[in-house]
A and B are shown apart, each in its own frame.
Chain A
Amino acid sequence: MREELLQIIEKNSKIAPNELAVILGVREEDILNELAALEKEGIICGYHTLIDWEKTSLEKVNALIEVRVTPQRGQGFDRIAERIYNYPEVRAVYLISGGYDLLVTLEEKSLKEISNFVTDKLSTLESVLSTATHFILKKYKDHGTILDKKHNDEREIITP
Protein backbone atom coordinates (compact mmCIF):
# COMPACT_ATOMS: atom_id res chain seq x y z
CA MET A 1 0.00 0.00 0.00
CA ARG A 2 2.86 2.36 0.85
CA GLU A 3 4.02 2.86 -2.71
CA GLU A 4 0.52 3.33 -4.06
CA LEU A 5 -0.35 5.74 -1.30
CA LEU A 6 2.74 7.82 -2.09
CA GLN A 7 1.97 7.81 -5.78
CA ILE A 8 -1.51 9.16 -5.13
CA ILE A 9 -0.60 11.89 -2.67
CA GLU A 10 2.38 12.96 -4.73
CA LYS A 11 -0.21 14.02 -7.31
CA ASN A 12 -2.91 15.11 -4.91
CA SER A 13 -1.94 15.90 -1.35
CA LYS A 14 -5.40 17.31 -0.69
CA ILE A 15 -7.16 13.98 -0.85
CA ALA A 16 -8.82 13.08 2.45
CA PRO A 17 -7.70 10.02 4.43
CA ASN A 18 -11.18 8.45 4.35
CA GLU A 19 -11.20 8.75 0.58
CA LEU A 20 -7.73 7.24 0.36
CA ALA A 21 -9.00 4.37 2.45
CA VAL A 22 -11.87 3.72 0.04
CA ILE A 23 -9.88 3.80 -3.17
CA LEU A 24 -7.04 1.72 -1.75
CA GLY A 25 -9.41 -0.76 -0.11
CA VAL A 26 -8.03 -0.40 3.43
CA ARG A 27 -9.22 1.13 6.71
CA GLU A 28 -8.94 4.84 7.35
CA GLU A 29 -6.95 4.09 10.47
CA ASP A 30 -4.33 2.29 8.38
CA ILE A 31 -4.00 5.33 6.14
CA LEU A 32 -3.53 7.67 9.10
CA ASN A 33 -0.92 5.38 10.65
CA GLU A 34 0.93 5.00 7.40
CA LEU A 35 0.97 8.74 6.74
CA ALA A 36 2.29 9.38 10.22
CA ALA A 37 5.00 6.77 9.72
CA LEU A 38 5.98 8.21 6.35
CA GLU A 39 6.30 11.67 7.85
CA LYS A 40 8.29 10.37 10.76
CA GLU A 41 10.67 8.47 8.53
CA GLY A 42 11.23 11.58 6.47
CA ILE A 43 9.82 9.98 3.35
CA ILE A 44 7.09 12.57 3.17
CA CYS A 45 9.06 15.81 3.47
CA GLY A 46 6.27 18.30 2.95
CA TYR A 47 2.97 19.01 1.24
CA HIS A 48 3.19 21.49 -1.58
CA THR A 49 0.87 23.13 -4.02
CA LEU A 50 1.66 23.32 -7.71
CA ILE A 51 1.02 26.89 -8.83
CA ASP A 52 1.21 28.33 -12.28
CA TRP A 53 2.45 31.78 -11.25
CA GLU A 54 2.29 32.92 -14.86
CA LYS A 55 -1.44 33.20 -14.51
CA THR A 56 -1.19 35.51 -11.50
CA SER A 57 -0.15 39.16 -11.41
CA LEU A 58 2.93 38.34 -9.37
CA GLU A 59 6.23 38.64 -11.16
CA LYS A 60 8.52 35.66 -10.74
CA VAL A 61 11.73 34.90 -12.52
CA ASN A 62 13.13 31.40 -12.48
CA ALA A 63 16.67 30.47 -13.30
CA LEU A 64 18.69 27.30 -13.60
CA ILE A 65 22.33 27.77 -12.77
CA GLU A 66 24.95 25.24 -13.72
CA VAL A 67 27.79 25.40 -11.23
CA ARG A 68 31.24 23.87 -11.56
CA VAL A 69 33.01 23.48 -8.22
CA THR A 70 36.10 21.98 -6.68
CA PRO A 71 35.11 19.13 -4.41
CA GLN A 72 36.61 19.33 -0.94
CA ARG A 73 38.73 16.71 0.65
CA GLY A 74 36.75 14.36 2.87
CA GLN A 75 33.50 16.17 2.13
CA GLY A 76 33.12 15.75 -1.61
CA PHE A 77 30.42 18.05 -2.85
CA ASP A 78 28.29 18.01 0.28
CA ARG A 79 29.85 20.96 1.96
CA ILE A 80 29.70 23.31 -0.97
CA ALA A 81 26.16 22.14 -1.69
CA GLU A 82 25.23 23.03 1.86
CA ARG A 83 26.75 26.48 1.49
CA ILE A 84 24.54 27.01 -1.51
CA TYR A 85 21.28 25.47 -0.36
CA ASN A 86 21.30 27.45 2.85
CA TYR A 87 20.48 30.60 0.91
CA PRO A 88 16.71 30.93 1.25
CA GLU A 89 16.29 32.12 -2.35
CA VAL A 90 17.67 28.82 -3.62
CA ARG A 91 14.83 26.44 -4.39
CA ALA A 92 16.71 23.31 -5.35
CA VAL A 93 20.24 22.00 -5.50
CA TYR A 94 21.11 18.80 -7.36
CA LEU A 95 24.43 17.06 -7.82
CA ILE A 96 24.69 16.32 -11.52
CA SER A 97 26.80 13.91 -13.52
CA GLY A 98 28.42 15.21 -16.69
CA GLY A 99 29.68 18.62 -17.78
CA TYR A 100 29.09 20.46 -14.53
CA ASP A 101 28.59 19.54 -10.89
CA LEU A 102 25.67 21.28 -9.26
CA LEU A 103 22.39 22.45 -10.68
CA VAL A 104 20.90 25.26 -8.65
CA THR A 105 17.42 26.58 -9.23
CA LEU A 106 16.38 29.98 -8.13
CA GLU A 107 13.17 31.94 -7.94
CA GLU A 108 13.23 35.69 -7.60
CA LYS A 109 11.11 38.71 -8.34
CA SER A 110 13.40 40.10 -11.01
CA LEU A 111 16.34 39.40 -13.29
CA LYS A 112 18.37 41.81 -11.24
CA GLU A 113 17.91 39.88 -8.05
CA ILE A 114 19.05 36.72 -9.75
CA SER A 115 22.07 38.36 -11.23
CA ASN A 116 22.89 39.83 -7.82
CA PHE A 117 22.72 36.39 -6.27
CA VAL A 118 25.00 34.90 -8.91
CA THR A 119 27.58 37.65 -8.91
CA ASP A 120 27.62 38.53 -5.21
CA LYS A 121 26.94 35.27 -3.49
CA LEU A 122 27.42 32.25 -5.70
CA SER A 123 30.46 33.21 -7.76
CA THR A 124 32.35 34.51 -4.78
CA LEU A 125 32.27 31.17 -2.98
CA GLU A 126 35.77 29.85 -2.85
CA SER A 127 35.22 26.46 -4.42
CA VAL A 128 32.99 27.71 -7.22
CA LEU A 129 34.94 27.60 -10.47
CA SER A 130 32.31 28.84 -12.88
CA THR A 131 28.60 29.37 -13.33
CA ALA A 132 26.22 29.42 -16.27
CA THR A 133 22.82 30.92 -15.72
CA HIS A 134 19.74 29.98 -17.76
CA PHE A 135 16.45 31.79 -17.40
CA ILE A 136 13.22 29.91 -17.73
CA LEU A 137 11.04 31.57 -20.34
CA LYS A 138 7.98 29.39 -20.07
CA LYS A 139 6.91 26.37 -18.07
CA TYR A 140 5.04 23.83 -20.12
CA LYS A 141 5.05 20.99 -17.68
CA ASP A 142 6.08 20.95 -14.05
CA HIS A 143 6.16 18.10 -11.55
CA GLY A 144 4.66 15.77 -14.14
CA THR A 145 1.72 18.05 -14.73
CA ILE A 146 1.04 19.76 -18.04
CA LEU A 147 0.22 23.28 -16.95
CA ASP A 148 -2.04 24.39 -19.75
CA LYS A 149 -3.74 21.12 -20.47
CA LYS A 150 -7.34 21.38 -21.52
CA HIS A 151 -9.52 18.60 -20.23
CA ASN A 152 -12.05 18.27 -22.96
CA ASP A 153 -13.60 14.85 -23.06
CA GLU A 154 -13.85 14.25 -26.77
CA ARG A 155 -15.38 10.84 -26.51
CA GLU A 156 -18.87 10.18 -27.79
CA ILE A 157 -21.20 10.58 -24.84
CA ILE A 158 -22.52 7.02 -25.15
CA THR A 159 -20.66 4.09 -26.65
CA PRO A 160 -21.28 0.35 -26.33
Chain B
Amino acid sequence: MTKPLNKNVLNIKPSGIRKFFDIVSEIKGAISLGVGEPDFDTPWHIRDEGIYALEKGRTFYTSNSGLKTLREEISKKVNRMRRVEYNPQNEILVTVGGSEAIDIGLRALVSNGDEVIIPEPSYVSYYPCTVLAGAKPVIINLKGENEFRLKPDELLNAVTDKTKVLILPFPNNPTGAIMEREDLEAIRKIIIDNDLYVISDEIYSELTYKEKHVSIVSLEGMKERTVLIDGFSKAYAMTGWRLGYACAPKEIISQMTKIHQFAIMCAPTTSQYAAISALRNGDSDILEMKKSYNMRRRFLINAFKKMNLECFEPYGAFYVFPSIKEFNMTSEEFATRFLEEEKVAAIPGNAFGESGEGYLRISYAYSIENLKIAIERLERFITKLRKEQNKS
Protein backbone atom coordinates (compact mmCIF):
# COMPACT_ATOMS: atom_id res chain seq x y z
CA MET B 1 0.00 0.00 0.00
CA THR B 2 1.41 3.36 -0.92
CA LYS B 3 -1.39 5.69 0.07
CA PRO B 4 -0.64 7.31 3.42
CA LEU B 5 -2.77 6.55 6.42
CA ASN B 6 -4.85 9.12 8.24
CA LYS B 7 -2.74 12.23 8.70
CA ASN B 8 -4.34 13.15 12.01
CA VAL B 9 -3.50 9.78 13.45
CA LEU B 10 -0.01 9.70 11.98
CA ASN B 11 0.70 13.04 13.59
CA ILE B 12 -0.21 11.89 17.07
CA LYS B 13 2.88 11.17 19.13
CA PRO B 14 2.86 7.88 21.02
CA SER B 15 2.42 8.59 24.71
CA GLY B 16 5.46 9.11 26.91
CA ILE B 17 4.14 6.34 29.10
CA ARG B 18 4.41 3.86 26.28
CA LYS B 19 8.02 4.83 25.77
CA PHE B 20 8.79 4.36 29.43
CA PHE B 21 6.90 1.09 29.48
CA ASP B 22 9.28 -0.28 26.87
CA ILE B 23 12.25 0.68 29.02
CA VAL B 24 10.69 -0.89 32.13
CA SER B 25 9.95 -4.13 30.33
CA GLU B 26 13.69 -4.55 29.74
CA ILE B 27 14.50 -4.46 33.46
CA LYS B 28 13.97 -7.74 35.25
CA GLY B 29 12.51 -7.80 38.75
CA ALA B 30 11.67 -4.11 38.86
CA ILE B 31 9.07 -3.01 41.36
CA SER B 32 6.60 -0.46 40.17
CA LEU B 33 5.07 2.75 41.40
CA GLY B 34 3.77 3.36 37.94
CA VAL B 35 0.30 1.92 37.95
CA GLY B 36 -2.78 4.04 37.38
CA GLU B 37 -5.30 1.58 38.74
CA PRO B 38 -6.34 0.34 42.18
CA ASP B 39 -4.50 -2.59 43.75
CA PHE B 40 -7.72 -3.89 45.30
CA ASP B 41 -9.75 -6.63 43.72
CA THR B 42 -13.25 -5.63 42.71
CA PRO B 43 -15.38 -6.19 45.84
CA TRP B 44 -16.78 -9.69 45.84
CA HIS B 45 -20.48 -8.78 45.75
CA ILE B 46 -19.86 -6.93 42.50
CA ARG B 47 -17.95 -9.79 40.92
CA ASP B 48 -20.63 -12.16 42.13
CA GLU B 49 -23.30 -10.11 40.39
CA GLY B 50 -21.29 -10.30 37.17
CA ILE B 51 -20.98 -14.05 37.50
CA TYR B 52 -24.70 -14.32 38.20
CA ALA B 53 -25.50 -12.31 35.08
CA LEU B 54 -23.43 -14.74 33.04
CA GLU B 55 -25.07 -17.75 34.69
CA LYS B 56 -28.47 -16.36 33.88
CA GLY B 57 -27.42 -15.99 30.27
CA ARG B 58 -27.64 -12.22 30.28
CA THR B 59 -25.24 -12.03 27.42
CA PHE B 60 -27.10 -9.84 24.95
CA TYR B 61 -26.72 -6.22 23.91
CA THR B 62 -28.34 -3.73 26.20
CA SER B 63 -29.98 -0.56 24.96
CA ASN B 64 -27.45 1.87 23.50
CA SER B 65 -27.45 4.14 26.49
CA GLY B 66 -27.16 1.27 28.98
CA LEU B 67 -29.49 -0.74 31.23
CA LYS B 68 -32.33 1.38 32.51
CA THR B 69 -31.84 0.19 36.09
CA LEU B 70 -28.18 1.06 35.89
CA ARG B 71 -28.93 4.55 34.62
CA GLU B 72 -31.43 5.01 37.43
CA GLU B 73 -28.82 3.96 39.98
CA ILE B 74 -26.25 6.26 38.38
CA SER B 75 -28.72 9.11 38.60
CA LYS B 76 -29.23 8.43 42.31
CA LYS B 77 -25.52 8.11 42.94
CA VAL B 78 -24.68 11.36 41.15
CA ASN B 79 -27.40 13.05 43.14
CA ARG B 80 -26.11 11.58 46.42
CA MET B 81 -22.64 12.89 45.74
CA ARG B 82 -23.28 16.16 44.00
CA ARG B 83 -26.86 17.15 44.76
CA VAL B 84 -27.59 17.49 41.06
CA GLU B 85 -30.40 15.69 39.24
CA TYR B 86 -29.92 13.95 35.92
CA ASN B 87 -32.82 12.29 34.18
CA PRO B 88 -31.94 8.62 33.63
CA GLN B 89 -34.14 8.65 30.53
CA ASN B 90 -32.11 11.05 28.45
CA GLU B 91 -29.32 12.69 30.40
CA ILE B 92 -27.14 9.69 31.21
CA LEU B 93 -25.07 7.51 28.90
CA VAL B 94 -23.22 4.39 30.03
CA THR B 95 -19.86 4.18 28.28
CA VAL B 96 -16.89 1.88 27.92
CA GLY B 97 -14.88 3.44 30.72
CA GLY B 98 -14.50 7.14 31.31
CA SER B 99 -12.15 7.11 28.31
CA GLU B 100 -14.92 6.57 25.81
CA ALA B 101 -16.92 9.36 27.39
CA ILE B 102 -13.97 11.74 26.93
CA ASP B 103 -13.67 10.78 23.29
CA ILE B 104 -17.31 10.97 22.31
CA GLY B 105 -17.93 13.98 24.54
CA LEU B 106 -15.30 15.89 22.60
CA ARG B 107 -16.55 14.60 19.27
CA ALA B 108 -20.08 15.66 20.07
CA LEU B 109 -19.03 19.16 21.15
CA VAL B 110 -16.36 20.38 18.74
CA SER B 111 -16.14 21.13 15.05
CA ASN B 112 -13.06 21.79 12.92
CA GLY B 113 -11.19 24.83 14.08
CA ASP B 114 -12.68 24.95 17.57
CA GLU B 115 -10.25 25.22 20.42
CA VAL B 116 -10.23 22.95 23.45
CA ILE B 117 -8.45 24.12 26.58
CA ILE B 118 -6.55 21.35 28.31
CA PRO B 119 -4.88 22.02 31.66
CA GLU B 120 -1.71 19.95 32.03
CA PRO B 121 -0.21 17.89 33.60
CA SER B 122 -3.20 15.64 33.03
CA TYR B 123 -4.37 12.32 31.71
CA VAL B 124 -2.86 11.43 28.37
CA SER B 125 -5.93 11.12 26.19
CA TYR B 126 -7.41 14.64 26.16
CA TYR B 127 -4.89 15.93 23.66
CA PRO B 128 -5.11 13.13 21.06
CA CYS B 129 -8.90 12.89 21.40
CA THR B 130 -9.14 16.62 20.73
CA VAL B 131 -6.95 16.30 17.66
CA LEU B 132 -8.90 13.31 16.38
CA ALA B 133 -12.12 15.25 16.85
CA GLY B 134 -10.70 17.88 14.50
CA ALA B 135 -10.24 20.58 17.12
CA LYS B 136 -7.15 22.42 18.30
CA PRO B 137 -5.78 21.72 21.79
CA VAL B 138 -4.75 24.78 23.77
CA ILE B 139 -2.60 23.84 26.73
CA ILE B 140 -2.57 25.54 30.10
CA ASN B 141 0.59 24.68 31.99
CA LEU B 142 -0.52 24.39 35.59
CA LYS B 143 1.99 25.40 38.21
CA GLY B 144 3.50 23.59 41.13
CA GLU B 145 3.28 26.69 43.28
CA ASN B 146 -0.52 26.65 42.83
CA GLU B 147 -0.60 22.98 43.80
CA PHE B 148 -1.51 22.37 40.16
CA ARG B 149 -4.96 23.92 40.51
CA LEU B 150 -6.43 25.86 37.62
CA LYS B 151 -6.33 29.59 38.34
CA PRO B 152 -8.73 32.12 36.79
CA ASP B 153 -5.98 34.23 35.17
CA GLU B 154 -4.53 31.12 33.55
CA LEU B 155 -7.90 30.27 32.10
CA LEU B 156 -8.54 33.83 30.97
CA ASN B 157 -5.22 33.92 29.13
CA ALA B 158 -6.03 30.74 27.26
CA VAL B 159 -9.51 31.72 26.10
CA THR B 160 -9.90 33.04 22.55
CA ASP B 161 -12.99 33.64 20.45
CA LYS B 162 -12.50 30.12 19.10
CA THR B 163 -12.55 28.39 22.46
CA LYS B 164 -15.37 25.88 22.66
CA VAL B 165 -14.52 23.50 25.49
CA LEU B 166 -12.64 23.52 28.77
CA ILE B 167 -11.46 20.17 30.07
CA LEU B 168 -11.51 20.04 33.82
CA PRO B 169 -9.51 17.04 35.04
CA PHE B 170 -9.92 17.05 38.82
CA PRO B 171 -9.15 15.24 41.10
CA ASN B 172 -6.13 15.06 38.89
CA ASN B 173 -4.06 12.28 37.47
CA PRO B 174 -1.00 12.62 37.72
CA THR B 175 -0.69 15.40 40.30
CA GLY B 176 -3.33 14.41 42.85
CA ALA B 177 -4.53 18.03 42.79
CA ILE B 178 -8.13 18.89 43.56
CA MET B 179 -10.26 21.95 42.89
CA GLU B 180 -12.14 23.11 45.95
CA ARG B 181 -15.36 25.06 45.85
CA GLU B 182 -13.67 28.46 45.85
CA ASP B 183 -11.33 27.39 43.05
CA LEU B 184 -14.32 26.39 40.95
CA GLU B 185 -16.27 29.52 41.85
CA ALA B 186 -13.31 31.59 40.67
CA ILE B 187 -13.41 30.15 37.15
CA ARG B 188 -17.18 29.83 36.86
CA LYS B 189 -17.77 33.38 35.66
CA ILE B 190 -15.09 33.13 32.96
CA ILE B 191 -16.68 29.93 31.68
CA ILE B 192 -20.12 31.53 31.54
CA ASP B 193 -18.95 34.88 30.14
CA ASN B 194 -17.20 33.10 27.31
CA ASP B 195 -20.00 30.62 26.80
CA LEU B 196 -17.73 27.57 27.12
CA TYR B 197 -18.67 23.97 27.43
CA VAL B 198 -16.94 21.99 30.16
CA ILE B 199 -15.92 18.37 30.12
CA SER B 200 -15.43 17.61 33.78
CA ASP B 201 -13.55 14.36 34.14
CA GLU B 202 -14.35 13.32 37.69
CA ILE B 203 -13.26 9.71 37.49
CA TYR B 204 -11.42 10.12 40.83
CA SER B 205 -14.34 11.92 42.49
CA GLU B 206 -14.64 9.34 45.27
CA LEU B 207 -11.00 9.63 46.19
CA THR B 208 -10.50 12.94 47.95
CA TYR B 209 -8.88 13.30 51.34
CA LYS B 210 -9.68 16.79 52.47
CA GLU B 211 -13.32 17.53 51.97
CA LYS B 212 -15.90 15.77 49.86
CA HIS B 213 -15.37 16.24 46.15
CA VAL B 214 -17.06 19.34 44.76
CA SER B 215 -18.26 19.07 41.19
CA ILE B 216 -18.53 22.05 38.91
CA VAL B 217 -22.02 20.87 37.92
CA SER B 218 -23.23 21.78 41.39
CA LEU B 219 -22.40 25.44 40.72
CA GLU B 220 -25.05 27.76 39.35
CA GLY B 221 -25.33 27.83 35.58
CA MET B 222 -22.88 24.99 35.06
CA LYS B 223 -24.97 21.87 34.69
CA GLU B 224 -26.43 23.07 31.41
CA ARG B 225 -23.00 23.46 29.80
CA THR B 226 -21.11 20.53 31.32
CA VAL B 227 -20.46 16.95 30.36
CA LEU B 228 -19.79 15.22 33.66
CA ILE B 229 -17.72 12.06 33.38
CA ASP B 230 -17.36 9.48 36.10
CA GLY B 231 -17.11 5.72 36.24
CA PHE B 232 -16.46 2.54 38.12
CA SER B 233 -12.76 1.94 37.51
CA LYS B 234 -11.19 3.95 40.31
CA ALA B 235 -14.01 4.10 42.83
CA TYR B 236 -14.87 0.39 42.85
CA ALA B 237 -11.56 -1.04 41.60
CA MET B 238 -13.19 -2.10 38.36
CA THR B 239 -10.71 -1.01 35.70
CA GLY B 240 -10.90 -4.18 33.66
CA TRP B 241 -14.70 -4.10 33.51
CA ARG B 242 -14.44 -1.04 31.26
CA LEU B 243 -17.40 0.90 32.50
CA GLY B 244 -18.00 4.59 32.90
CA TYR B 245 -20.70 7.13 32.29
CA ALA B 246 -21.44 10.61 31.09
CA CYS B 247 -24.13 12.92 32.44
CA ALA B 248 -25.07 15.99 30.44
CA PRO B 249 -28.02 17.96 29.12
CA LYS B 250 -30.13 15.82 26.82
CA GLU B 251 -29.16 17.81 23.71
CA ILE B 252 -25.55 16.73 24.26
CA ILE B 253 -26.24 13.19 25.47
CA SER B 254 -28.40 12.48 22.42
CA GLN B 255 -25.52 13.43 20.10
CA MET B 256 -23.01 11.45 22.15
CA THR B 257 -25.38 8.48 22.07
CA LYS B 258 -25.34 8.61 18.27
CA ILE B 259 -21.59 8.21 18.16
CA HIS B 260 -21.67 5.58 20.88
CA GLN B 261 -24.40 3.68 19.06
CA PHE B 262 -22.47 3.49 15.80
CA ALA B 263 -18.99 2.96 17.24
CA ILE B 264 -19.64 0.84 20.33
CA MET B 265 -23.29 -0.26 20.36
CA CYS B 266 -23.39 -0.64 24.12
CA ALA B 267 -21.10 -1.06 27.11
CA PRO B 268 -20.39 -4.67 28.16
CA THR B 269 -23.55 -6.25 29.53
CA THR B 270 -21.89 -8.29 32.29
CA SER B 271 -20.17 -5.18 33.57
CA GLN B 272 -23.41 -3.25 33.57
CA TYR B 273 -25.16 -5.83 35.75
CA ALA B 274 -22.22 -5.94 38.12
CA ALA B 275 -22.20 -2.15 38.29
CA ILE B 276 -25.77 -2.09 39.55
CA SER B 277 -24.60 -3.95 42.62
CA ALA B 278 -21.64 -1.60 42.93
CA LEU B 279 -23.96 1.41 43.09
CA ARG B 280 -26.50 -0.20 45.37
CA ASN B 281 -24.18 -1.85 47.87
CA GLY B 282 -20.71 -0.46 47.27
CA ASP B 283 -20.53 2.75 49.27
CA SER B 284 -18.87 1.03 52.21
CA ASP B 285 -16.33 -0.65 49.93
CA ILE B 286 -15.31 2.75 48.63
CA LEU B 287 -14.94 4.03 52.16
CA GLU B 288 -12.67 1.15 53.13
CA MET B 289 -10.46 1.55 50.08
CA LYS B 290 -10.33 5.28 50.55
CA LYS B 291 -9.20 4.87 54.15
CA SER B 292 -6.43 2.64 52.93
CA TYR B 293 -5.33 5.08 50.22
CA ASN B 294 -5.33 7.90 52.70
CA MET B 295 -2.97 6.03 55.03
CA ARG B 296 -0.58 5.37 52.18
CA ARG B 297 -0.83 8.99 51.09
CA ARG B 298 0.11 10.17 54.55
CA PHE B 299 2.90 7.62 54.68
CA LEU B 300 4.42 8.91 51.42
CA ILE B 301 4.06 12.59 52.25
CA ASN B 302 5.74 11.96 55.58
CA ALA B 303 8.53 9.97 53.95
CA PHE B 304 9.19 12.76 51.42
CA LYS B 305 9.29 15.30 54.18
CA LYS B 306 11.85 13.25 56.04
CA MET B 307 14.10 12.96 53.00
CA ASN B 308 13.56 16.63 52.13
CA LEU B 309 12.01 15.91 48.80
CA GLU B 310 9.82 18.80 47.72
CA CYS B 311 6.19 17.80 47.34
CA PHE B 312 2.90 19.61 47.87
CA GLU B 313 0.29 17.66 49.76
CA PRO B 314 -2.14 16.23 47.21
CA TYR B 315 -5.72 15.69 48.33
CA GLY B 316 -7.08 13.56 45.51
CA ALA B 317 -6.78 10.41 43.38
CA PHE B 318 -3.94 8.04 44.35
CA TYR B 319 -0.87 9.89 43.18
CA VAL B 320 1.80 12.07 44.66
CA PHE B 321 3.83 14.32 42.42
CA PRO B 322 7.17 15.18 44.02
CA SER B 323 9.52 17.67 42.42
CA ILE B 324 12.95 16.41 41.40
CA LYS B 325 14.18 19.76 40.14
CA GLU B 326 16.95 19.95 42.76
CA PHE B 327 18.81 17.15 40.97
CA ASN B 328 19.27 19.10 37.75
CA MET B 329 18.13 16.37 35.45
CA THR B 330 15.05 15.82 33.37
CA SER B 331 12.21 13.69 34.65
CA GLU B 332 13.10 11.05 32.12
CA GLU B 333 16.73 10.96 33.13
CA PHE B 334 15.75 10.71 36.77
CA ALA B 335 13.16 8.00 36.18
CA THR B 336 15.47 6.00 33.96
CA ARG B 337 18.36 6.11 36.41
CA PHE B 338 16.03 5.31 39.31
CA LEU B 339 14.84 2.32 37.38
CA GLU B 340 18.28 1.13 36.35
CA GLU B 341 19.99 1.70 39.67
CA GLU B 342 17.25 0.86 42.14
CA LYS B 343 14.84 -1.13 39.99
CA VAL B 344 11.86 1.03 40.79
CA ALA B 345 9.56 2.28 38.06
CA ALA B 346 7.91 5.66 38.53
CA ILE B 347 6.54 7.64 35.63
CA PRO B 348 8.36 10.81 34.53
CA GLY B 349 6.06 13.80 35.01
CA ASN B 350 6.50 15.08 31.48
CA ALA B 351 4.59 12.04 30.18
CA PHE B 352 1.52 14.05 31.26
CA GLY B 353 2.49 17.28 29.57
CA GLU B 354 5.42 19.67 29.43
CA SER B 355 4.52 21.26 32.73
CA GLY B 356 5.10 17.90 34.38
CA GLU B 357 8.81 18.24 33.58
CA GLY B 358 10.80 18.21 36.79
CA TYR B 359 8.30 15.97 38.56
CA LEU B 360 7.66 12.30 39.07
CA ARG B 361 4.32 10.57 39.30
CA ILE B 362 4.28 8.11 42.14
CA SER B 363 1.20 5.97 42.50
CA TYR B 364 0.10 4.72 45.89
CA ALA B 365 -2.12 2.01 44.58
CA TYR B 366 0.21 -0.36 46.39
CA SER B 367 0.28 -1.86 49.85
CA ILE B 368 2.22 0.00 52.53
CA GLU B 369 4.67 -2.93 52.62
CA ASN B 370 5.45 -2.41 48.93
CA LEU B 371 5.64 1.34 49.34
CA LYS B 372 8.10 0.95 52.20
CA ILE B 373 10.51 -0.99 50.01
CA ALA B 374 10.17 1.51 47.20
CA ILE B 375 10.66 4.47 49.52
CA GLU B 376 13.80 2.96 51.03
CA ARG B 377 15.21 2.69 47.56
CA LEU B 378 14.15 6.21 46.66
CA GLU B 379 15.88 7.54 49.74
CA ARG B 380 19.07 5.67 48.94
CA PHE B 381 18.90 6.92 45.37
CA ILE B 382 18.45 10.58 46.15
CA THR B 383 21.11 10.44 48.87
CA LYS B 384 23.47 9.19 46.20
CA LEU B 385 22.40 11.92 43.78
CA ARG B 386 22.91 14.60 46.39
CA LYS B 387 26.41 13.29 47.10
CA GLU B 388 27.21 13.32 43.40
CA GLN B 389 26.04 16.91 43.22
CA ASN B 390 28.16 17.98 46.14
CA LYS B 391 31.28 16.51 44.55
CA SER B 392 30.90 18.27 41.24
Please, which residues of chain B bring their CB within 8 A of the CB of A23? 295-296, 298-299, 368
Q: For B25, list chain A residues within 8 Å (CB).
A: 157
Question: Given A22-B302, A153-B39, is A158 in contact with B296 using a C-beta cutoff of 8 Å?
Answer: no
Question: A158 near B295 (CB under 8 angstroms)?
Answer: no
Interface residue B381 (Cβ < 8 Å from any Cβ of A)? no
Q: Do A157 and B34 touch across chains, with their CB atoms under 8 A apart?
A: yes
| Chain A CB within 8 A of B54 CB | no
Residue A160 interfacial (CB < 8 Å):
yes
Given A22-B299, A23-B298, A25-B298, answer yes or no on A155-B35 (Cβ-Cβ < 8 Å). Answer: yes
CA A24 to CA B20, docked complex, whole Å: 34
A159, B34: Cβ atoms closer than 8 Å: yes
* Residue in contact with B345 in the complex, picked from A7, A24, A153, A158, CB distance below 8 Å: A158
Query: Nearest residue in B to A22 (C-beta to C-beta)?
Result: B302
A residues within 8 A CB of B123? 160
CB-defined contacts of A148 to chain B, threshold 8 Å: none
Q: Chain B residues near A4 (CB, 8 Å)?
A: 291
Least Cβ distance of A159 to chain B in Å?
A: 5
Q: How large is the interface on A (under 10, 10 to 19, 20 to 34, 35 or more residues)?
A: 10 to 19
Across the interface, which residues of A come within 8 angstroms of B296, CB to CB?
23
CB distance A160 to B298 under 8 Å?
Answer: no
Interface residue ranges of B32-55 to A (CB < 8 Å): 32, 34-37, 39
A158 touches B299 (CB 8 A): no
- Given A4-B291, A23-B296, A24-B295, residue A159 in contact with residue B37 (CB < 8 A): yes
B17→A158 contact, CB < 8 A: yes
Contacts known (A22-B302, A23-B299); A160 close to B17, Cβ less than 8 A:
yes
* With A23-B295, A160-B123: A155-B37 Cβ-Cβ less than 8 Å: yes
Q: How far does the Cβ of B371 sit from chain A's closest Cβ, in whole Å?
A: 10
**Which chain A positions have C-beta within 8 A of B30?**
157
- The A130-160 residues at the B interface (CB cut-off 8 A) are 153, 155-160
Instruction: Type the 1/0 row for A44-59, where 1 means its CB is closer than 8 Å to any CB of B.
Output: 0000000000000000
Q: Which chain A residues border B36 with CB–CB below 8 Å? A: 159-160
Q: Any chain A CB within 8 A of the CB of B61? A: no
Let me know if B302 and A160 touch, CB within 8 A: no
Partner of B35, one of A7, A19, A158: A158
* A153 contacts across to B, CB distance below 8 A: 32, 39
Contact check, A22 vs B298: say whether CB atoms are below 8 A apart: yes
Q: Do the beta carbons of A157 and B39 come within 8 Å of each other?
A: no
Closest to A26 in B: B298
B347 touches A (CB below 8 Å): yes
Q: Does B21 contact A (CB under 8 A)?
A: yes
State in angstroms the CA–CA spacing of A23 and B209 once bound together. 13
Closest Cβ–Cβ distance, residue A15 to chain B (whole Å): 9
Interface members, chain B 283-313 (any A CB < 8 Å) = 291, 295-296, 298-299, 302
Q: Chain B residues with Cβ under 8 A from A157's Cβ?
A: 21, 24-25, 30, 32, 34-35, 345
Question: Would you give the shortest CB distance from B372 to chain A, in whole angstroms?
Answer: 9
Determine the chain A residues whose CB is within 8 A of the CB of B35 once the complex forms: 155-159
Residue of A nearest to B370 (CB): A153
13 new A-B contacts at CB < 8 Å, known A22-B302, A158-B34: A22-B299, A24-B295, A153-B32, A155-B35, A155-B39, A156-B35, A157-B35, A158-B24, A158-B32, A159-B34, A160-B15, A160-B123, A160-B351
**For the complex of A and B, 9 pairs with smallest distance between CB atoms:** A23-B295, A158-B34, A158-B21, A157-B32, A159-B36, A22-B302, A160-B124, A160-B17, A155-B35
Q: Chain A residues in contact with chain B, CB under 8 A?
A: 4, 7-8, 19, 22-25, 153, 155-160
A-B contact list, 27 entries, CB within 8 Å = A7-B291, A8-B295, A19-B299, A22-B298, A22-B299, A23-B295, A23-B296, A24-B295, A153-B32, A155-B35, A155-B39, A156-B21, A156-B35, A157-B21, A157-B25, A157-B30, A157-B32, A157-B34, A158-B20, A158-B21, A158-B35, A159-B17, A159-B35, A160-B15, A160-B17, A160-B123, A160-B173
